[in-house]
């Protein structure tokens, strides 16, 4: 038989639409081969991107005429068999591929053509836009923007105009109990080791405070080693005032006990060497000696400057006492939650760990309206003793009624935990009487004042049908982050929650991009702080705050439409976590010391120029000196933005303050002039921009001369700013950052640029070559936008260039990228996230649930990347058999609401979604349901290309759980239908195509 | 039990057709290149020879692993982080004072047997790392970090090669570039996105036919095993590689079957689709194999067959077996848990407690090599970027060395005692690390990025001390080809000490290379794995260029540095 000949004809019939440009047509389908078996002709074809339909034409002569042949149908053929392992043991599976088959083509020879119609260019661009500017489309966004990408681009490029109501919270600053300055005396009591010389009393800053009844005794409270510690003689004698402290005097009328107290006031900061009150230690009558255990106690009246008071025994650090400031008025948070009761009518109040919190004005009412109706709790306002109404179990036996803190009335519940609670038998408990209706709907509401950082409150009814955790919702997370009360898990949850839910999706995508570009490592910061003397929990809280503060600054900077790359770079350079991460913190260039090169290297290689792009090792060495002195320090909170501020000496009251762990201040960027080295030559000496850049850059000198600055002067800080100011707009930086943004938004294949002429990338980015690739041209356009924007380096100008490029809007970008783990889990939730009946979300995550899956999908531990190149943006870093297993397990857990921790605390309701989106007549229609979810999960793939996925979905719905028996979906019970829809959606989301974006 | 990998020609052809559809390039008459190679040459994967690699990420400070102890400059430039000589060589008040101790040839001093160079026997009472001085290597010049003491037994039986001054021309001091070059075998070429071991497996002809050829056990598949034409396997966590663990009820079979079936759905070509398809297929193919291996903690029963570290008390109290080979818990970490009421002693740990995850991965890599047809397996651990406070005989870097030393000791015992498909004679263990660190310590008591470093190579077939070679240390001697020149940094390239002369034209303060890492890997891939020279020329492209001198040594045409070529360790 004569061999058939296949002709391939490209006939891409795109539907013209306004608004969007899509210059490059997608590749056309091709016929790769023909298998002939009698009258059966099997065409094996390469599909075309976005194909809605395929049409086949046949002729018996090569010259035609070709006529439409509708007899070709898509059919499977067997390619082999493979054995796979399932829960029921090994099964042999038939491996199939698909071909277009015509069974009645009887002519001896034939010629075939095929053509395709495509989804509209708007649909293609719409899918790309929702997958790149956002963490994947939601069903509602797909309806709004799936065919109108320009509207989404315009909206997201101006994300500061999108209301963000998610993170808001309100705190009511109140303490119902009025404070009385005359009765507000506060006791400080610490222990340490005796120094037999003197007790020094001074202020670490100008100011004043009242003190009284100073006692230095043995640890059992024996005789006072100070004479006249109560100042009842009417003078400071035998103490001696010196320097600025001579403005202090003993006064009567405001004493803690007796008639007199000491009014300390000074206009000069003191120390043990002057401007102090020196009280001799009276040891004649007792047998104390140096280093005996000793206790210091004194009373002070809290005031605006009282935390500057320091008492020091001798000049060493064996015993240092300090006072606190005015105690903060409790910030009361209102919380309410509706849920269902169980058979046991008990309400539990507990904390997640050892610590303290206050609760007041708690109401439990029937129905869904908080505070409306009869309060089913007794003593919910905590105005009466706990006994008889509330019981304290196990770790909460120290809980009590507080008469110094209250939201209303005269008292509140002080929740005191020695360890984390659990509810029944380990909480503050009330058995609600009369009993609640089992499964009845109730609403709890209360006011809550947190105290201990990192400890969270839970109020719940037995059975967990009603659980209130005001610290873990998004507003509570935000509140605790801003109060520097949060641990890294809280911050990750806040970040992931916003990635899924924020309407400012581009801001979220860019936040992760810059965080990952200017990468720092939470655990390195934590270990640094841990070594200083904080316990591991506090070190973690402080390290979390560093990560949050740099992110907050980036997000605020990006909200400004004129945000430049320099703005973002500066924030990174000043971030304490960066200073610790790349070892500037202890780097010294003074004298003959060799500066640490780490930050200078990565600044060039990873943050600005890109590796080997315009610099050499010598430049790194020279530049490393500019960063000497860039360090971190603990300063008073008001100095958080002052890099020259002195170290804070403000301590929590009532602590022996020799440990950093007792300090109150804030760790921040601090310049240490003594570490700074000024001796350096010009950086990039004699270098000019290579020819490949073309105009306006080629040939320009970019030598950086840092002017001489006085050794040991605070002016030395300017060296660092000179460096980043110079780097921020170098053509190399413009190029490398543009390349990274193109990789993020367009596709992976933008290689790193280089100035080394014999590397192949040099020619790839030769902007003088008229035949340069579309990728090189897009980078070039980004650089021009950067160069010509006002102000120069405007990030939105670069983004706008990318979003309006043909490359981005065409099939060249669509579905060309693989989701990172974060993009994968966020897009999985978003794909099903709408609002169902009763305002219930059809997909939900609490944000915390992402941490474990992200770790498993390739170690994507947010804010804790070990290597300074950040997490990969491209596919090979994430995709291997092991990580795919984790992705599949996540999706299956998420959809099937199963047990285990693969998906964490998620919920989803795909049936709720389809009931909202489809007419009721379709709710039991397997074809309609399959069509809906296929189009939802694979927008712009093209209906013809999705035929087999759609068939698989329909088959899944119409097949019993054994995987083989036919079982019509429409005739199943609601419960079975729900299970099948979940399983079918899970299956669609485990397919390869859902890994793409 | 053996797990033979199944590969059928029919399945192979079906898959190759699908691949051609996915890339939208090939025609039906194209024979995939992997098949052409399979028909051609070599015996990679057919001769039972295997490689286990361990990546030391962050750049190991080779000068403190294998120490040029007789280079008088060493003590000067490492005033606080240097490893000190044993008092026997420095204290002239001792009766056994021997200033020539380190410069006298002989075997390696073995601190697993003795606590000092006068051969005081170790006992069960001694702390594991009680010996804290530079361990004499017996080539008259070099010594070893005391935390590498478990390498001493390997060294003295000739199973270990310590290769110093290993690097490549025009060294990059970027972690990421340099790791890239070590893995792709193409120095200074970032566009080359295939790994050396990936190419070796492609040359074997088994890629895409055997479900398991190259495998890593770590967070993601490393470049060294990555390429565009075939899928190697990565296990993120060996104990979670189990789709059967999907916590759902009745939908499982349907979902699972659909996942498998989805491998055969044609889609329009896009970037990364081939990667995804290959890795999905790899996942389904390897599930069955791994379901038959027990990676769990209860399966971690592998023990030393002799009195480990002379700890007779532990041996006697534990059924006449030595320490656990893969420390994954405190109880399995050396002699921490003392026998019969002896309590717990942190000084008896053999590795730091933060390396349990690594040893879980290392165990999985060893088991996979031993129980399946996999040819190359590996894992990694990091923390070597010791810019500050790296410590000396103890501390950060010492802890990392402990992990290296014990890993090799344990692997030798594992492949000797539990040999199934892989014997110690047929297995080579190598370490990779992207570069060495600055010779002179910095102001933070650390070291920065520099050039040449150290490679560790171990295996029954390795010809080290007394086994085909006079010594087991190479590149760290004054009396071998391209000798190590002791001495200070000068401005004269010809007289400058080796530790400071990175290239013939500059005095940069970096250790100068004399061995190219590609020569080491090349010798192993050809003489161990079984590649032909022609295959090796494709696997490591530099071999085809005689000017690079990777085979026989000479002056590198790339940068003019004299290098040894292949060492002859096999």
Contact at CB, A886 and B236, closer than 8 angstroms: yes
Q: How many CB pairs under 8 A join A and B?
A: 323
Which range has highest mean pLDDT (A55-64, A440-449, A857-866)? A440-449
Higher pLDDT, B340 or A446: A446
Select from A549, A734, A576 the least CA-distant residue to A643: A576
Burial (Cβ within 10 Å: 0-12, 13-18, ≥19) of residue B453: buried
Provide the pLDDT for residue A17. 34
Give yes or no for residue B4 having a pLDDT over 70. Answer: no
Provide the pLDDT for residue B364. 96
The question of ipTM being above 0.90 is answered as no
Give yes or no for residue B2 having a pLDDT over 70. Answer: no
Contact at CB, B259 and A961, closer than 8 angstroms: no
Position B220 confidence tier, pLDDT thresholds 50, 70, 90: confident
Higher pLDDT, B245 or B341: B341
Q: Any idea which of A70-79, A349-358, A388-397 has the lowest mean pLDDT? A: A70-79
* Each residue's pLDDT tens digit, A729-785: 999 999 999 999 999 999 999 999 999 998 889 999 999 999 999 999 999 999 999
Give yes or no for residue A381 having a pLDDT over 70. Answer: yes
What is chain B's mean pLDDT, rounded?
A: 87
Give CA angle at A450 (A448, A451), nearest 5°: 145
Task: Tell me how far apart the alpha carbons of residues B224 and B216 are, in angstroms, rounded to a whole number.
Answer: 10
Nearest-neighbour CA in chain A from B86: distance (Å): 30
Provide the pLDDT for residue A629. 95
Residue B425's SS3 state is helix
Of residues B175, B221, B240, nearest to A856 (C-beta): B240
Task: Tell me how far apart the alpha carbons of residues A438 and A811 are, in angstroms, rounded to a whole number.
Answer: 57
As a whole number, mean pLDDT of residues A196-211 equals: 90
* Each residue's pLDDT tens digit, A893-928: 888 865 556 777 788 999 999 999 999 999 999 999
Contact of B141 with B480, CB cutoff 8 Å? no
* Each residue's pLDDT tens digit, A599-628: 999 999 999 999 999 999 899 999 999 999
**Percentage of residues in chain B with pLDDT exceeding 90?**
66
Other residues' Cβ atoms within 10 Å of the Cβ of residue A469 = 16
Burial (Cβ within 10 Å: 0-12, 13-18, ≥19) of residue A283: middle
As a whole number, mean pLDDT of residues A234-238 equals: 92
As a whole number, mean pLDDT of residues A708-721 equals: 91
As a whole number, mean pLDDT of residues B402-429 equals: 97
Contact of B148 with B401, CB cutoff 8 Å? yes
* Each residue's pLDDT tens digit, A786-809: 999 999 999 999 999 999 999 999
What is chain A's mean pLDDT, rounded?
A: 89
Provide the pLDDT for residue A641. 95
Indicate the helix (H) or strand (E) that contains B378.
Answer: strand B376-381
Provide the pLDDT for residue B20. 32
Task: Tell me how far apart the alpha carbons of residues A951 and B335 are, in angstroms, rounded to a whole number.
Answer: 60
Residues in chain B, how many?
Answer: 570
Give yes or no for residue A303 having a pLDDT over 50. Answer: yes
Enumerate the β-bridge partners of residue A99: A75
Close Cβ partners of A205 (under 8 Å, ≥ 6 residues apart):
A269, A305, A308
Indicate the helix (H) or strand (E) that contains A892.
Answer: helix A881-896
DSSP symbols for B511-534:
PPP-EEHHHHHHHIIIIII---HH
Provide the pLDDT for residue B501. 79
Provide the pLDDT for residue B375. 96
- Residue A621, phi then psi, degrees to nearest 5: -60, -45
Q: What is the pTM of this model?
A: 0.80
Give yes or no for residue B18 having a pLDDT over 50. Answer: no
Position A292 confidence tier, pLDDT thresholds 50, 70, 90: confident
Burial (Cβ within 10 Å: 0-12, 13-18, ≥19) of residue A767: buried
Residue A207, phi-psi category: left (phi > 0), alpha (psi -120 to 50), beta (remainder): left
Q: What is the CA radius of gyration of chain B?
A: 24
DSSP symbols for A554-610:
HHHHHHSTT-BHHHHHHHHHH-HHHHHHTT-TT---STTPPPP-HHHHHIIIIISS-
As a whole number, mean pLDDT of residues A312-333 equals: 81
Sheet of strand A293-301: strand arrangement: A186-193, A293-301, A207-217, A260-266, A249-252
Nearest CA in chain A to B450: A617
Residue A620's SS3 state is helix
Residues A529, A533, A535, A541: is their CA dihedral positive or negative? Answer: negative
Other residues' Cβ atoms within 10 Å of the Cβ of residue A272 = 18
Nearest CA in chain B to A987: B255
The single residue listed with the structure tokens 């109290």 is: B317
Give yes or no for residue B285 having a pLDDT over 80. Answer: no
Contact of A715 with A709, CB cutoff 8 Å? yes
User: Do you find a cis peptide bond into A173, omega within 30 degrees of 0?
Assistant: no
Provide the pLDDT for residue B527. 97
Of residues A760, A866, A979, nearest to B251 (C-beta): A979
Copy the structure tokens of residue A210: 């009242």
Residues of chain A found within 8 Å of residue B387, distances taken between Cβ atoms = 583, 596, 598
Residues of chain A found within 8 Å of residue B261, distances taken between Cβ atoms = 93, 95-96, 952
Position A33 confidence tier, pLDDT thresholds 50, 70, 90: confident
- Residue B473, phi then psi, degrees to nearest 5: -115, 135
Residues of chain A found within 8 Å of residue B23, distances taken between Cβ atoms = none
Position A87 confidence tier, pLDDT thresholds 50, 70, 90: very low
Copy the structure tokens of residue A511: 């936040």
Residues of chain A found within 8 Å of residue B252, distances taken between Cβ atoms = 86-87
As a whole number, mean pLDDT of residues B404-427 equals: 97
Residues of chain B found within 8 Å of residue A882, distances taken between Cβ atoms = 233-237, 241, 283
Contact of B128 with B338, CB cutoff 8 Å? no
Nearest-neighbour CA in chain B from A988: distance (Å): 9
Nearest CA in chain B to A861: B219
The single residue listed with the structure tokens 């030559």 is: A681
Nearest-neighbour CA in chain A from B313: distance (Å): 37
Contact of A716 with A709, CB cutoff 8 Å? yes
Give yes or no for residue B355 having a pLDDT over 90. Answer: yes
As a whole number, mean pLDDT of residues B527-556 equals: 96
Quote the DSSP letter at residue A90: E
Of residues A594, A617, A899, nearest to B442 (C-beta): A594
Indicate the helix (H) or strand (E) that contains B345.
Answer: none
Contact at CB, A98 and B266, closer than 8 angstroms: yes
Provide the pLDDT for residue A606. 95
As a whole number, mean pLDDT of residues A307-316 equals: 87
Task: Tell me how far apart the alpha carbons of residues B499 and A340 are, in angstroms, rounded to a whole number.
Answer: 74
Quote the DSSP letter at residue A100: E
Nearest-neighbour CA in chain B from A165: distance (Å): 36
Mutate to test the interface with A, among B13, B365, B440, B444 (most CBs of A within 10 A): B444
Other residues' Cβ atoms within 10 Å of the Cβ of residue A88 = 10
Provide the pLDDT for residue B264. 67
The single residue listed with the structure tokens 């080791």 is: A193
Give yes or no for residue A166 having a pLDDT over 60. Answer: yes
Position A61 confidence tier, pLDDT thresholds 50, 70, 90: confident
Residues of chain A found within 8 Å of residue B20, distances taken between Cβ atoms = 32
* Each residue's pLDDT tens digit, A245-280: 999 999 988 888 899 999 999 999 999 999 999 999
- Helices A974-990 + B252-261 axis angle, to 10: 30
Select from B145, B152, B16, B54 the least CA-distant residue to A97: B16
Mutate to test the interface with B, among A817, A880, A938 (most CBs of B within 10 A): A880
Task: Tell me how far apart the alpha carbons of residues A276 and A202 are, in angstroms, rounded to a whole number.
Answer: 5
Task: Tell me how far apart the alpha carbons of residues B251 and B229 are, in angstroms, rounded to a whole number.
Answer: 33
C-alpha to C-alpha distances, A965 to A87, A950, A957, A959, A978, nearest whole angstrom: 17, 19, 11, 6, 18
As a whole number, mean pLDDT of residues B374-381 equals: 96
Contact at CB, B448 and A598, closer than 8 angstroms: yes
Select from A300, A296, A340, A102 the least CA-distant residue to A193: A296
**Percentage of residues in chain A with pLDDT exceeding 90?**
61
Which range has highest mean pLDDT (A378-392, A459-473, A875-889)? A378-392
Copy the structure tokens of residue A156: 């997201």
Select from A588, A578, A558 the least CA-distant residue to A724: A578
As a whole number, mean pLDDT of residues B450-458 equals: 96
Provide the pLDDT for residue B387. 87
Contact of B307 with B322, CB cutoff 8 Å? yes
Position A23 confidence tier, pLDDT thresholds 50, 70, 90: very low
Provide the pLDDT for residue B278. 79
Nearest CA in chain A to B292: A85
Select from B128, B59, B142, B49 the least CA-distant residue to B409: B128
Of residues B216, B241, B387, nearest to A885 (C-beta): B241
Contact at CB, B255 and A87, closer than 8 angstroms: no
Residues of chain A found within 8 Å of residue B489, distances taken between Cβ atoms = none
Nearest-neighbour CA in chain A from B16: distance (Å): 10
* Each residue's pLDDT tens digit, A325-349: 777 788 899 999 998 899 999 999 9
Q: Any idea which of A265-274, A551-560, A917-926, B458-467 has the lowest mean pLDDT? A: A265-274
The single residue listed with the structure tokens 């059924």 is: B319
Enumerate the β-bridge partners of residue A429: A348, A391
Task: Tell me how far apart the alpha carbons of residues B198 and B184 are, in angstroms, rounded to a whole number.
Answer: 9
Burial (Cβ within 10 Å: 0-12, 13-18, ≥19) of residue A607: buried
Nearest-neighbour CA in chain B from A30: distance (Å): 8
Contact at CB, A896 and B269, closer than 8 angstroms: no
């Amino acid at each position: 038989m004569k061999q058939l000949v296949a002709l391939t004809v490209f006939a891409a019939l795109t539907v013209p639409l306004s608004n969007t440009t899509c210059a490059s047509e997608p590749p056309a389908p091709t016929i790769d081969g023909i298998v002939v078996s009698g009258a059966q002709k099997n065409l094996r074809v390469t599909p075309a991107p976005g194909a809605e339909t395929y049409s086949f034409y046949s002729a018996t002569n090569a010259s035609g005429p070709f006529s439409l042949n509708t007899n070709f149908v898509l059919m499977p053929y067997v390619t082999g068999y493979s054995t796979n392992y399932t829960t029921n043991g090994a099964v042999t599976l038939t491996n199939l591929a698909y071909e277009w088959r015509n069974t009645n083509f009887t002519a001896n020879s034939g010629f075939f053509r095929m053509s395709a119609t495509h989804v509209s260019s708007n649909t293609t661009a719409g899918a790309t836009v929702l997958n790149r500017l956002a963490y994947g489309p939601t069903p509602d966004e797909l309806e709004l923007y799936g065919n109108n990408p320009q509207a989404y681009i315009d909206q997201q490029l101006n994300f500061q105009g999108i209301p963000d109501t998610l993170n808001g919270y309100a705190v009511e600053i109140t303490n119902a109990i009025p404070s009385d300055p005359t009765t507000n005396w506060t006791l400080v009591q610490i222990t340490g080791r005796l120094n037999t010389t003197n007790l020094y009393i001074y202020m670490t800053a100008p100011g004043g405070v009242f003190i009284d009844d100073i006692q230095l005794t043995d640890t059992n409270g024996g005789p006072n080693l100070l004479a006249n510690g109560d100042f009842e003689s009417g003078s400071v004698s035998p103490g001696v005032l010196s320097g600025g402290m001579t403005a202090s005097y003993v006064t009567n009328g405001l004493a803690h006990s007796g008639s007199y107290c000491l009014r300390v006031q000074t206009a000069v900061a003191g120390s043990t060497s002057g401007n102090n009150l020196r009280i001799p230690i009276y040891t004649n009558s007792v047998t104390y000696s140096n280093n005996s255990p000793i206790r210091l106690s004194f009373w002070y009246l809290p005031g605006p400057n009282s935390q500057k008071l320091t008492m020091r025994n001798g000049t060493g650090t064996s015993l240092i006492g300090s006072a606190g400031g005015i105690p903060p008025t409790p910030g009361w948070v209102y919380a309410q939650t509706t849920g269902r009761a169980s058979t046991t009518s008990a309400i539990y109040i507990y904390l997640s760990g050892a610590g303290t919190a206050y609760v007041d004005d708690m109401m439990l009412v029937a129905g869904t309206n908080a505070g409306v109706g009869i309060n089913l709790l007794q003593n919910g306002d905590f105005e009466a003793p706990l006994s008889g109404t509330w019981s304290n179990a196990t770790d909460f036996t120290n809980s009590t009624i507080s008469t110094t803190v209250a939201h209303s009335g005269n008292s509140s519940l002080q929740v005191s935990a020695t360890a984390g609670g659990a509810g029944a038998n380990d909480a503050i408990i009330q058995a609600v009487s009369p009993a609640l209706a089992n499964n009845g709907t109730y609403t709890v509401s209360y006011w809550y004042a947190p105290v201990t950082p990192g400890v969270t409150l839970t109020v719940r009814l037995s059975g967990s049908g009603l659980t209130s955790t005001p610290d873990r919702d998004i507003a509570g997370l935000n509140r605790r982050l801003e109060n520097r009360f949060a641990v890294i898990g809280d911050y990750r949850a806040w970040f992931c929650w916003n990635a899924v839910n924020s309407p400012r999706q581009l801001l979220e995508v860019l936040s992760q991009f810059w965080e990952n570009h200017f990468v720092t490592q939470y655990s390195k910061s934590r270990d640094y702080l841990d070594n200083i003397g904080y316990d591991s929990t506090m070190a973690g809280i402080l390290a979390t705050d560093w990560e949050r503060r740099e992110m907050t600054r980036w997000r605020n900077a990006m909200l400004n439409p004129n945000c430049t790359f320099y703005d973002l770079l500066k924030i990174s350079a000043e971030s304490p976590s960066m200073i610790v991460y790349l070892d500037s913190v202890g780097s010294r260039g003074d004298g003959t010391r060799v500066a640490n090169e780490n930050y200078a290297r990565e600044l060039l290689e990873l943050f600005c120029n890109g590796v080997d792009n315009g610099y050499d090792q010598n430049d790194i060495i020279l530049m490393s000196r500019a960063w000497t002195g860039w360090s971190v320090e603990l300063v008073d909170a008001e100095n958080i933005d002052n890099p020259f501020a002195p170290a804070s000496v403000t301590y929590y009251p009532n602590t022996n303050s020799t440990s950093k762990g007792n300090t109150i201040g804030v760790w921040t960027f601090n310049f240490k002039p003594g570490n700074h080295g000024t001796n350096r030559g010009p950086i990039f000496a004699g270098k000019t921009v290579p020819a490949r850049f073309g105009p306006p850059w080629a040939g320009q000198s970019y030598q950086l001369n840092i002017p001489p600055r006085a050794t040991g002067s605070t002016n030395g800080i300017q060296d660092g700013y000179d460096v980043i100011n110079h780097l921020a707009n170098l053509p190399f930086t413009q190029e490398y950052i543009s390349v990274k943004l193109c990789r993020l938004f367009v596709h992976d294949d933008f290689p790193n640029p280089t100035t080394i002429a014999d590397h192949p990338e040099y020619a790839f980015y030769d902007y003088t070559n008229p035949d340069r690739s579309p990728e090189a041209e897009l980078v070039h356009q980004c650089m021009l936008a950067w160069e010509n924007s006002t102000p120069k380096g405007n990030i939105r100008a670069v983004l706008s260039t990318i979003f309006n490029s043909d490359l981005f809007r065409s099939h060249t970008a669509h579905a060309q990228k693989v989701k990172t783990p974060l993009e994968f889990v966020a897009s999985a939730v978003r794909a099903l996230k709408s609002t169902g009946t009763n305002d219930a979300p059809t997909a939900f995550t609490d944000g915390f649930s992402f941490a474990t899956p992200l770790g498993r999908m390739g170690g994507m531990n947010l804010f804790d990347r070990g290597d300074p190149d950040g997490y990969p943006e491209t596919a090979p870093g994430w995709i291997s058999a092991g990580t795919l297993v984790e992705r599949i397990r996540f999706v299956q857990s998420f959809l099937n609401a199963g047990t285990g921790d693969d998906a964490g605390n998620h919920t989803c309701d795909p049936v709720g979604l389809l009931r909202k989106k489809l007419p009721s007549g379709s709710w039991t229609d397997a074809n309609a349901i399959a069509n809906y979810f296929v189009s939802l999960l694979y927008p712009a793939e093209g209906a013809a290309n999705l035929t087999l996925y759609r068939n698989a979905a329909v088959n899944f719905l119409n097949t019993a759980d054994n995987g083989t028996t036919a079982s019509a979906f429409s005739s199943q019970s609601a419960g079975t239908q729900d299970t099948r829809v979940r399983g079918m959606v899970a299956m669609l989301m485990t397919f390869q195509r859902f890994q793409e974006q | 039990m053996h797990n033979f990998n199944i590969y059928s020609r029919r399945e192979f052809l079906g898959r190759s057709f699908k691949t051609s559809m996915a890339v939208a390039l090939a025609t039906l008459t194209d024979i995939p290149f992997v098949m052409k190679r399979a028909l051609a040459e070599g015996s990679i994967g057919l001769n039972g020879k295997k490689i286990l690699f361990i990546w030391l990420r962050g750049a190991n400070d080779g000068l403190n692993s294998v120490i040029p102890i007789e280079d008088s400059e060493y003590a000067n430039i490492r005033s606080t982080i240097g490893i000190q000589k044993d008092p026997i060589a420095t204290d002239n008040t001792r009766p056994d004072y021997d200033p020539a101790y380190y410069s006298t040839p002989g075997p390696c001093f073995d601190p697993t047997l003795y606590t000092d160079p006068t051969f005081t026997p170790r006992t069960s009472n001694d702390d594991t790392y009680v010996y804290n001085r530079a361990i004499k290597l017996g080539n008259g010049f070099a010594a070893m970090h005391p935390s590498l003491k478990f390498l001493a037994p390997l060294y003295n039986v000739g199973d270990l090669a310590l290769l110093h001054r290993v690097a490549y021309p025009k060294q990059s001091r970027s972690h990421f570039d340099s790791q890239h070059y070590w893995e792709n075998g193409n120095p200074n070429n970032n566009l080359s996105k295939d790994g050396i071991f990936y190419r070796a497996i492609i040359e074997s002809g088994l890629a895409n036919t055997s479900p398991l050829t190259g495998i890593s056990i770590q967070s993601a598949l490393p470049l060294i095993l990555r390429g565009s034409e075939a899928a190697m396997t990565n296990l993120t966590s060996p104990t979670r590689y189990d789709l059967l663990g999907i916590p759902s009820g009745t939908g499982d079979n349907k979902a699972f079957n659909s996942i498998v079936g989805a491998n055969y759905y044609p889609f329009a070509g896009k970037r990364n689709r081939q990667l995804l398809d290959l890795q999905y297929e790899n996942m389904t193919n390897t599930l069955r194999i791994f379901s038959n291996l027990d990676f769990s903690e209860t399966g971690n029963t592998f023990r030393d067959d002799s009195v480990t570290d002379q700890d007779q008390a532990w041996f006697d109290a534990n059924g006449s077996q030595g320490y656990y080979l893969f420390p994954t818990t405190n109880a399995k970490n050396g002699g921490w848990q003392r026998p019969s009421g002896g309590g717990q002693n942190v000084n008896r740990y053999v590795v730091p407690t933060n390396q349990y995850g690594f040893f879980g991965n290392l165990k999985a890599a060893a088991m996979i090599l031993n129980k399946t047809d996999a040819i190359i397996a590996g894992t990694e651990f990091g923390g070597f970027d010791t810019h500050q406070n790296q410590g000396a005989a103890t501390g950060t870097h010492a802890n990392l060395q402990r992990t290296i030393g014990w890993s090799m000791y344990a692997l030798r015992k594992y492949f000797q005692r539990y040999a199934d498909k892989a014997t110690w004679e047929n297995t080579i263990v190598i370490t990779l690390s992207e570069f060495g660190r600055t010779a002179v310590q910095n102001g933070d008591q650390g070291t920065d990025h520099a050039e040449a470093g150290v490679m560790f190579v171990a295996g029954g077939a390795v010809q080290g001390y007394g086994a085909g070679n006079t010594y087991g240390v190479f590149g760290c001697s004054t009396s071998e080809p391209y000798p190590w020149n002791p001495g200070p940094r000068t401005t004269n390239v010809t007289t400058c000490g080796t530790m400071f002369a990175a290239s013939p034209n500059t005095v940069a303060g970096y250790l100068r290379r004399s061995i190219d890492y590609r020569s080491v890997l090349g010798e192993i891939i050809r003489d161990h794995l079984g590649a032909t020279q022609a295959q090796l020329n494709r696997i490591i492209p530099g071999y085809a260029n005689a000017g690079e001198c990777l085979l026989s040594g000479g002056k590198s045409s790339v940068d003019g540095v004299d290098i040894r070529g292949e060492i002859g360790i096999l």
